[in-house]
């Protein structure tokens, strides 16, 4: 297996801790759960828990004597507890993995390569939505994740507010933007913005300092990827995060295309159309802003569809992301996966569970809950039907996949370090008005860290 000889700061700390573990603990001691043939499985999304509990029941029926013990841990604590469990030797047998996290786990040698194990060897790209399976193959050529589900980004909107502004659903689905004058997208969110005296953002006398309803909700600054903030704009401008589609060796945050796009995007806050940085908090996310009438539009993921369409007293719609200067739309396609830990207590049983999670039986089961789009094509179709039954139109999320207008998360080493540098840098641009040119220095720092692995 290919190894890196040096580390970024965050990865180095984890590597030291895990190396001490290897010296002090060796292999993991069996627990009572393992001796009773129980497979332990962790996930973070409470909304998906019922679907996977039903999958566990199906698995247990097909595998008499085996049990699945599922733990749901919220996102804010999930990765800390997972890393701590790996240090302590109490990690789960199988866990839900994220594309921005798995590179570090591979480098620290805590994941089992699925393509070397009998039960998980036959993962085929064609079984899943395009690109999902390939993303989980590391530089050493081994697969470390079995595709689980996928998501994209679109625009949610409050129909009453758009109708009051005379903006049709068709108009929202045909918007375009550019960094010079903002195009029809900026004109639309300007018109949707209303100050405390009832003047719209495109009307004389509009007071940007006293806004009642913002055209566009805020969702923090987006760390290194801007998934639900600026990513649809930078990608539709023709920009790429790194020099390669996967396992890039340097980032492009110094690119003029990226910086001009970010300058325009956060400049919308200066004009009063985008909610300011301080408007966002854990208790006041974009869904809350939309539901309270504080914002008319919100960029967010398909995994939030039930939340947005379930907002009390609000009729919600969803629209495609706007066309950019490249002449195309763009939306980030993210895919989660199930990973098997190298020290799984009952590895044969854990392999079977990973294989079952990828099966049509489980993927279809998860799809019936209409919470996420399962990775398999069959599971996706079931999920679409479940959304439709619930009165939720997910076309804005599924059409980009069919049209081929999606792009992937950046996959590189040292993702934790990249995020640690980019988040405060982006927040400085958004919240404090720091020049976007300052991101050039941050980009140099990031690329210096990546170069340590060369």
Query: Over the stretch 31-43, which tens digit does the pLDDT of each residue have?
Result: 444 445 899 999 9
Asked whether residue 246 is assigned to any structural domain, the reply reads yes
Q: Are 189 and 273 in contact (CB under 8 A)?
A: yes
Domain match, 355 and 440 both:
no
Domain match, 341 and 321 both:
no
Q: Are 72 and 43 in contact (CB under 8 A)?
A: yes
Domain match, 147 and 295 both:
no
- Domain of 265 in residue numbering reads as 153-332+412-451
Domain match, 23 and 112 both:
yes
Surface-to-core class of residue 395, CB atoms within 10 Å of its CB (0-12 exposed, 13-18 middle, 19+ buried) = middle
Q: What is the pLDDT of residue 388?
A: 97
Asked whether residue 4 is assigned to any structural domain, the reply reads no
Is the model's pLDDT at 400 over the cut of 60? yes
Domain match, 69 and 87 both:
yes
Considering the entire predicted model, what is its pTM?
0.91
Domain match, 304 and 344 both:
no
CATH number where 101 lies: 3.40.190.10
Rounded CA-CA distance 215/282 in Å is 20
Domain match, 173 and 53 both:
no
Helix H or strand E segment including 338 = strand 331-340
Q: Are 132 and 150 in contact (CB under 8 A)?
A: yes
Of 357, 373, 397, the position where a domain reaches its end is 397
Q: What is the pLDDT of residue 33?
A: 44
Q: Are 188 and 249 in contact (CB under 8 A)?
A: no
Asked whether residue 406 is assigned to any structural domain, the reply reads no
Domain match, 41 and 180 both:
no
Q: For 59-73, write each residue's pLDDT tens digit.
A: 999 999 999 999 999
When pLDDT is averaged across residues 382-406 and rounded to a whole number, the result is 97
Domain match, 132 and 253 both:
no
Q: Which residue has the tokens 């940085």?
A: 277
Asked whether residue 232 is assigned to any structural domain, the reply reads yes
Asked whether residue 372 is assigned to any structural domain, the reply reads yes
Q: What is the pLDDT of residue 219?
A: 93
Q: What is the pLDDT of residue 453?
A: 67
Q: How confident is the model at residue 454 (pLDDT cuts 50, 70, 90)?
A: low
Surface-to-core class of residue 82, CB atoms within 10 Å of its CB (0-12 exposed, 13-18 middle, 19+ buried) = buried
Asked whether residue 407 is assigned to any structural domain, the reply reads no
Listed in sequence order, the residues at least 6 apart from 170 whose beta carbon sits closer than 8 Å to its beta carbon are none
Q: For 223-238, write each residue's pLDDT tens digit.
A: 899 999 999 999 999 9
Tell me how many domains the chain contains.
Answer: 2
Asked whether residue 213 is assigned to any structural domain, the reply reads yes
Domain match, 416 and 390 both:
no
Domain match, 258 and 280 both:
yes
Domain match, 293 and 170 both:
yes
Is the model's pLDDT at 174 over the cut of 80? yes
Asked whether residue 3 is assigned to any structural domain, the reply reads no
Q: For 84-141, write each residue's pLDDT tens digit.
A: 999 899 999 999 999 989 888 988 899 999 999 888 887 777 888 888 888 999 999 9
Listed in sequence order, the residues at least 6 apart from 83 whose beta carbon sits closer than 8 Å to its beta carbon are 14
């Amino acid at each position: 297996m290919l190894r890196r000889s040096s580390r970024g700061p965050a990865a180095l700390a984890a590597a030291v801790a895990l190396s001490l573990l290897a010296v002090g603990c060796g292999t993991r001691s069996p627990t009572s759960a393992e001796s009773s043939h129980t497979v332990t499985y962790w996930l973070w999304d409470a909304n998906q828990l019922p679907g996977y509990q039903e999958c566990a029941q199906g698995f247990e029926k097909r595998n008499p004597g085996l049990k699945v013990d599922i733990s749901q841990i919220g996102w804010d604590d999930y990765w800390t507890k997972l890393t701590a469990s790996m240090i302590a030797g109490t990690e789960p047998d199988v866990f839900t993995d994220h594309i921005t996290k798995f590179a570090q786990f591979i480098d620290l040698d805590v994941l089992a390569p699925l393509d070397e194990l009998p039960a998980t060897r036959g993962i085929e790209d064609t079984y899943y939505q395009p690109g999902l399976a390939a993303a989980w193959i590391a530089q050493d050529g081994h697969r470390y994740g079995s595709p689980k589900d996928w998501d994209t980004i679109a625009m949610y909107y409050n129909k009453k507010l758009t109708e009051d502004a005379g903006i049709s659903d068709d108009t929202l689905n045909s918007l375009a933007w550019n960094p010079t004058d903002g195009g029809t997208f900026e004109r639309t969110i300007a018109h949707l913005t209303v100050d405390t005296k009832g003047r719209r953002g495109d009307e004389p006398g509009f007071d940007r300092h006293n806004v009642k309803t913002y055209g566009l909700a805020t969702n923090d600054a987006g760390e290194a990827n801007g998934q639900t903030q600026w990513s649809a704009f930078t990608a539709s401008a023709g920009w790429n995060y790194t020099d390669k589609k996967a396992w890039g060796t340097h980032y492009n945050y110094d690119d003029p295309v990226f910086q001009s796009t970010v300058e325009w995007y956060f400049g919308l806050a200066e004009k009063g159309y985008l909610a300011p940085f301080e408007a966002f908090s854990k208790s006041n996310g974009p869904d809350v802003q939309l539901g309270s009438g504080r914002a008319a539009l919100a960029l967010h993921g398909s995994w939030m569809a039930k939340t947005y369409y379930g907002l009390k007293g609000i009729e919600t719609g969803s629209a495609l992301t706007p066309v950019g200067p490249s002449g195309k739309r763009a939306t980030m396609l993210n895919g989660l996966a199930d990973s098997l830990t190298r020290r799984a207590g009952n590895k044969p049983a854990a392999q079977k569970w990973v294989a079952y999670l990828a099966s049509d039986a489980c993927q279809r089961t998860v799809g019936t809950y209409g919470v996420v789009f399962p990775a398999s094509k069959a599971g996706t179709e079931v999920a679409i039907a479940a959304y439709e039954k619930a009165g939720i139109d997910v076309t804005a999320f599924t059409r980009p996949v069919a049209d081929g207008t999606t792009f992937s998360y950046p996959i590189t080493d040292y993702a934790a370090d990249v995020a640690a540098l980019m988040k405060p840098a982006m927040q400085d641009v958004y919240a404090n008005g720091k020049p976007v040119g300052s991101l050039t220095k941050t980009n140099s720092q990031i690329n210096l860290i990546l170069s340590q692995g060369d």
